[in-house]
Amino acid sequence: MPELILSHVTRRFSGHTAVDDFSLTVRDGEFVCLLGPSGCGKTTTLRIIAGFERADAGRLTLDGADITHAPPQQRDIGLVFQSYALFPHKTVAENIGFGLKMRGRPRAAIAAAVEEALALVRLEGLGGRYPRALSGGQQQRVALARALAIRPRLLLMDEPLSNLDAQLREEMRNEIRRIQKSLGITAVLVTHDQAEALAMADRIAVMAKGRLQQMADPATIYEAPATAFVSGFIGQANVLEGRVESTGAEAVLALPGGVTLAGRGDGLAAGAATRAMVKHERMALCRAEPAQLANRFPCQVAERTYLGGSIAYRCEAAGMTLTALLPNHPLFESFAPGDTAWIGWAATDCAFFPC
Amino acid sequence: MRFLGKAAGGLYLLLLYLFVAGPLLFVIATSFNPATSFPAPFEGLTLSWYAAILRRPEFLSAAGTSAVVAALAAALAVVVAFLAAYALSRNGSSSARGAMATLLASPLLVPQVVISLAILQLASAWGVGTGFWGLVAAHAVYVMPFALRLLLTGLARFDFAVEEASRSLGGGWLSTWREVTLPLLRPSIVAGFTFCFILSFVNLPLSLFLTSPDTATLPIVMFAYIESRIDPMIAAVASVIVLAAGTATILLDRFLHVRLVD
Ligand SMILES: Nc1ncnc2c1ncn2[C@@H]1O[C@H](COP(=O)(O)OP(=O)(O)OP(=O)(O)O)[C@@H](O)[C@H]1O
Ligand SMILES: [Mg+2]
Question: Using an 8 Å Cβ cutoff, are A340 and A298 in contact?
Answer: yes
pLDDT tens column, A150-162: 999 999 999 998 8
For residues A92 and A134, is the Cβ–Cβ distance under 8 A? yes
| Separation of alpha carbons B69 and B76, rounded Å | 10
Cα(B199)–Cα(B146) distance, integer angstroms: 9
Out of A77, A83, A88, whose CB is closest to B168? A77
The Cα angle at residue B255 between residues B253 and B257, in degrees rounded to 5: 45
Q: Say yes or no: A192 and A334 in one domain.
A: no
Class of domain B31-256: mainly alpha
Residue of A9, A13, A162, A190 to mutate, ligand 1, most atoms within 8 A of C-beta: A13
Of A237, A238, A231, A245, nearest to A273 (Cα)?
A245
Q: Picking from A35-49, A131-145, A264-278, B157-171, which range would have the lowest pLDDT averaged per residue?
A: A264-278
Return the higher-pLDDT residue of B52 and A4: A4
Task: Name the helix (H) or strand (E) containing A99.
Answer: helix A92-102
Q: What is the pLDDT of residue A6?
A: 93
- pLDDT at B123 > cutoff 50: yes
The whole-number pLDDT of residue B258 equals 60
Q: Are residues A111 and A252 in the same domain?
A: no
Q: Looking at beta carbons, which residues of chain B come within 8 Å of A89?
A: 183-184
Distance A145 CA to ligand 1 centre (A): 27
Q: What residues have CB less than 8 Å from A204, skipping those under 6 apart?
A: A32, A33, A35, A197, A198, A214, A215, A216, A217, A218, A221
Q: How far away is chain A from the Cα of B190, in angstroms, using its nearest Cα?
A: 17
Percent of residues in chain A assigned helix, strand, coil, to nearest 5? 25, 35, 35
Q: Which amino acid, one-letter code, is at B178?
A: R
Please identify, among A174, A197, A229, the residue that sits at the C-terminal boundary of a domain: A229
- Tell me the C-alpha to C-alpha distance, in Å, between residue B206 and each of A209, B55, B102, B108: 57, 27, 21, 12
Shortest CA distance from A89: residue in chain B: B184
Establish if B171 touches chain A: CB-CB under 8 angstroms.
yes
Last residue of a domain, one of A166, A196, A229: A229
The residue among A179, A197, A229 that closes a domain is A229
| Cross-chain Cβ contact B171/A98 below 8 Å | yes
Nearest CA in chain A to B174: A102
pLDDT in tens, A8-65: 999 999 888 999 999 999 999 999 999 999 999 999 999 999 999 999 999 999 988 9
Sign for the CA dihedral angle at A43, A49, A54, A57 comes to positive
User: Quick one: A220 and A262 in the same domain?
Assistant: no
Backbone phi, psi, residue A58, to 5°: 100, 175
Between CA B79 and CA B13 the distance in angstroms is 38
Same structural domain, A88 and A179: yes
Give the distance from residue A83's alpha carbon to the nearest chain B alpha carbon, in angstroms: 8
Give the number of residues written for chain B: 262
Q: Is B93 on the interface with A (CB under 8 A)?
A: no
How far is Cα B258 from Cα B255, in angstroms, rounded to an integer? 8
A87–chain B Cβ distance below 8 A for any pair: yes
Nearest bound ligand to the CA of residue A47: 1
CATH number, domain at A193? 3.40.50.300
**What is the pTM for the complete model shown?**
0.81
| Residue from B209, B212, B162, B205 nearest B182 by CA | B162
Task: Tell me the C-alpha distance between A61 and A67, whole Å.
Answer: 5
**CA B79 to CA A271: how far, in whole Å?**
70
User: So where are chain B's domains?
Assistant: 31-256
Residue A155, helix vs strand vs coil? strand
Q: Residue B176: what pLDDT?
A: 95
Chain B partners of A77 at a C-beta cutoff of 8 Å? 168
Q: Do A216 and A248 fall into the same domain?
A: no
Asked if A75 and A140 sit in the same domain, the reply is yes
A232 in contact with chain B, both atoms CB, cutoff 8 A: no
Region B203-208 average pLDDT: 82
* pLDDT score of B109: 81
Task: Please name every residue paired with A253 in a beta bridge, in sequence order, or none if there are none.
Answer: A244, A261
Q: Are residues A249 and A130 in the same domain?
A: no
Q: For A71-83, write each residue's pLDDT tens digit.
A: 999 999 999 999 9
Residues A298-347: pLDDT tens digits? Answer: 999 999 999 999 999 999 998 889 999 999 999 998 999 999 999 999 99
Do both A15 and A160 map to the same domain?
yes
**Domain match, A196 and A338 both:** no
CA distance B117 to B114: 5
A71: left (phi over 0), alpha (psi -120 to 50) or beta: beta
Chain B residues touching residue A75 (CB < 8 angstroms): 168
- Cβ proximity of A274 and A352 under 8 Å: yes
Statement to judge: residues A116 and A155 lie in one domain? yes
pLDDT band for position B262 (cuts 50, 70, 90): very low
| Same domain? A28 vs A127 | yes
The ipTM is 0.82
A149 & A253 share domain: no
In ligand 1, the atom with minimum distance to the C-alpha of A210 is: 14
Shortest CA gap B255–chain A (Å): 15
The stretch B112-137 carries a mean pLDDT of 79
Q: Which residues of B5-43 are buried (b: 16+ CB within 10 A; e: fewer)?
A: eeeeeeeeeeeeeeeeeeeeeebbebbbbeeeebeeeee
Query: What's the domain range around A334?
Result: 236-354
Q: What is the pLDDT of residues A104-114, one digit of tens each?
A: 999 999 999 99
Task: Residue A335: give its domain's CATH number.
Answer: 2.40.50.100
For ligand 2, the distance from its centroid to the CA atom of residue A25, given in whole angstroms, is 20
Q: How confident is the model at residue A178 (pLDDT cuts 50, 70, 90)?
A: very high
Number of domains in chain A: 2
Dihedral pair phi/psi, residue A69, rounded to 5°:
-110, 10
Q: Which of B161, B170, B179 sits opposite A103 (nearest CB)?
A: B170
Question: Mean pLDDT across the stretch A211-217?
Answer: 94
